[in-house]
Amino acid sequence: MLAFYAIILLILATIVANTIYPYFPVIPKAFYQIFMGALLSLVPMYHHFILEPEMFMLIIIAPLMFYDGQNANAHELRQNVGSIVSMAVILAVLTVIGMGYLSHAVLAGIPLALTFALAAIVTPTDAVAVSSITSNMAVPERVMGMLERESLFNDASGLVAFNLALAAFTTGHFSVGAGIKHFFVVFLGGLLIGLVLGIAAVMIRVYLVQSGKDSSSVIVPFDIMVPFLIYLAAEHLELSGILAVVAAGLIYSASTNQLRLSSTQLQLVSRSTWGIFTNILNGFVFVLLGVSLPTVWVNIQHDHNKSLTSFILLAVILYLVMLALRYLWIRLDWALIRSKKAERPQNALIGALSGVHGTITLAMAFSLPLTLHGTAFPYRNTMIFVAAIVIILSLLVPTLVLPFILPKKQVAVDPAVVAQQRKALVAYASERLVQENPDNPVATQTVIEILNSQATGARPDKKKTRALLNHATQIEVQTVQKLADDGVIPNGYANRYVRMLVLKSQMTSHNPFVNLTLWARFFWHRLTFMMSRKRRRNKRIAEQQRRLQAGHPTAEQLQQQSQRIQQENHQLQRSKRRDPRASARQRENFLKIEQDIYANVIAFLTKVSTVDNQAEVNSVRNYYNARHRRFESTKSSDHQNELFIQAFQYEYTYIRQQRTAGTIPVELADELYQQVSTDQMLYTQEIAETA
């Protein structure tokens, strides 16, 4: 149970950080996640938290690297093999060697093998962290492509170098030739096993689809299990599990045509599942960093060889030297990104600053052994502390500097404009549905309700919603008054309904003054109506007698007229007598009230509905639709499906009209077409499943 609670708290911390981020997007999301992790460290179960590196690499890093490989462009990778080798292998190895000697020079007390291990820890870069920092900036396409390709493979370079350095320290033996041989065996072997197992996974997936077992409950879990199984298989063979899952992901990317044989709904479910899954895992990385920092700080404080100033200085030096190395490497065009000569200085600066460290650096730092020959592993806390400082610096510096170098990202279509036009096309479709389908308002309003809820995710304004509800309540009272005046319903039912209405309004925290005013107006209306009832009855009887006398009535007509007059005279004196059909009559009368009220309120909402108040109108419409469905037991799903198809056609018509008139640009029209077609596709799939 403790592990379960720990995972739940990690998810909760990630959700809170992701929720806060949109309110202050200037600060990268990673910093919110680190801060939430630091707060989480105050929870007793996270005191003295120790990250299990094997589990971290398996559960978090393996699926993340598989997902990155799956979304990589295989054609671009083939075209940029030289750039990948240059950045992810040659530069990574040179950085490890240079940083190892430099670290040993700054802190001579640390053995050379451990300084190489430290250099290997801080070498790998993280493209995901770069994306979180530069999400609102226009990074040059060549530079961003280089960073993404580099991060796919330099993780393996860092891990292999780290394992070699660690083995040299623990055994006391190291051979350059054996080290190079081991590097290539682990590197190329990881790629090979990943390619083989990736092809096997794709073949199994295609077989499942072709044999009709392509439900989301089969394919999605299978896809999620693939990176874990491949990583475990590669590590069991002492090869690079990271490169194996990257290679398998690339096989998935190259097999797009075969994977598209599955249903559209399955592809959408799989894509959204992977998106949510990897988003949570990326959040876990930085939350775990925040959780770990207090423990690292406490351990550093208890070390006898503590020298915080020296450790921080070493971290700063390592970061600055790596920054300079990356700058020179790209500036001299050794990165082979084919940038123009005039663009190289800026690309070099952006590429150097974007060398952000994150997931693999943290995992390798915590994978340092706890003990060596029965005693505490030397300098373990120091190396973790230095790595943590490098991670924070690599996140902080580009956050402060890049906004002054890079322009804001210019999107082809402004999301606010898309949202506004989406509301407009839904309003157009809703209006057409009401006009073309006057005979079935319930089904029509249900469709309109769903369309409006999909068009906007904005929260309704409480003040505007309350005003609409108050107006709708006044319409209810006026409707009940008219029904009672016309004799459609008895006065008792009218009084009871208005009392219930006022009580309901007070319980939903509407303005009590408005509710009392409505009640007073209704009471005064009924009072004046009752007081004038006798006068109106006598007037009606006199009019009937005048017409009868003017037409020379027969004896039979006079007798009928006398009976009607007698009925009028005794109408008020008749007392109510309960009978077994009283409840049926009550329901019948309330159904009459509900039908007229629903029609009048919906007509009012349709009249006042605009593009700007859709959220508020839809909120009130939802309430009246839900209430009306309790009275109307009949359902017509077929007719509702037809209405949905009509609505989608009206939406397409709106886009075509706006595009023809030149009101919206081509890019906006394409975006709207894509959204409507996605909605239609999902709804059609839903109909097919329920048929």
Contact partners, residue 228, CB within 8 Å, separation at least 6 = 58, 59, 62, 63
In sequence order, what are the residues at sequence separation of 6 or more whose Cβ sits closer than 8 angstroms to the Cβ of residue 277? 63, 67, 224
* Crossing angle for the helix pair 582-608 and 441-455, to the nearest 10 degrees: 50
The enclosing domain of 64 has a CATH number of: 1.20.1530.20
Cβ proximity of 69 and 63 under 8 Å: no
Identify the pLDDT of residue 577: 47
Q: Which of 615, 635, 655 is the last residue of a domain?
A: 635
**Closest-CA residue to 364 (of 307, 297, 289):** 289
* Burial class of 457 by CB neighbour count within 10 A (0 to 12, 13 to 18, 19+): exposed
* pLDDT tens per residue, range 137-159: 778 888 888 888 888 788 778 88
State which residues form the domain around 620. 468-535+589-635
- Do 629 and 644 fall into the same domain? no
Please choose, from the candidates 286, 284, 295, 281, the residue with its C-alpha nearest in 3D space to the C-alpha of residue 41: 295
Which has the higher per-residue pLDDT, 489 or 225?
Answer: 225
- Is the model's pLDDT at 368 over the cut of 70? yes
pLDDT of residue 284: 83
520 and 419 in a common domain: no
Comparing 504 with 348, the larger pLDDT belongs to 348
Look-up of token digits 């899952």: 245
Residues 191 and 224 in one domain: yes
Asked whether residue 259 is assigned to any structural domain, the reply reads yes
Same domain, 610 and 677: no
Please tell me whether residues 268 and 228 are part of one structural domain: yes
Q: Indicate whether 325 and 419 sit together in one domain.
A: no
Residues 524 and 593 in one domain: yes
Q: What is the pLDDT of residues 420-475, one digit of tens each?
A: 888 888 888 888 888 888 777 777 877 777 777 766 656 777 788 888 888 888 88
With beta carbons less than 8 A apart as the criterion, state whether 193 and 162 touch.
no
554 falls within a domain: no
Q: Which residues contact 13 (CB under 8 A, 6 or more apart)?
A: 33, 36, 37, 39, 40, 283, 287
Q: Is residue 146 part of a domain?
A: yes
Inside any domain, residue 475: yes
Environment class of 78 (CB within 10 Å of its CB; exposed 0-12, middle 13-18, buried 19+): exposed
Tell whether 420 and 362 lie within a shared domain: no
Tell me, what's the pLDDT at 675? 78
User: Buried b / exposed e across 410-435, counting CB within 10 Å, b at 16+?
Assistant: eeebeeeebeebbbbbbbbbbebbbe
Residue 312 shares a structural domain with residue 433? no
Classify residue 459: in a domain, yes or no: no
- Cβ pair 435, 635 in contact under 8 A: no
Mean pLDDT of 335-364: 84
Residues 594 and 652 both lie in one domain: no
Please, what is the average pLDDT of the chain?
78
Which is more confidently placed, 225 or 535?
225
Domain-embedded: residue 12: no
Give the 3-state secondary structure of residue 514.
Answer: helix
**For residue 523, what pLDDT band results from cuts at 50, 70 and 90?**
low
Over residues 175-188, the pLDDT tens digits come to 667 777 777 888 88
State whether 334 and 224 are in the same domain.
Answer: yes
Which of helix, strand or coil describes residue 415? Answer: helix
Q: Residue 34 pLDDT more than 70?
A: yes
Number of structural domains the chain divides into: 3
Note whether residue 457 is domain-resident: no
Residue 277 lies in a domain: yes
Please indicate, yes or no, whether residues 481 and 397 belong to a single structural domain of this protein: no
Residues 6+ apart with CB under 8 A from 476: 501, 597, 600, 601
Which of 635, 650, 673 corresponds to the end of one domain?
635
Q: What is the pLDDT of residue 167?
A: 82
- pLDDT tens-digit series, residues 55-104: 777 888 888 888 888 887 777 888 888 888 888 889 988 999 999 999 98
Average pLDDT over residues 275-294: 82
By DSSP bridging, strand 375-376 and strand 371-372 are antiparallel
How far is 647 from 427, CA to CA, in rounded Å? 10
Residues 497 and 473 sit within 8 Å (Cβ to Cβ) = no
pLDDT exceeding 70 applies to what percent of the chain? Answer: 77
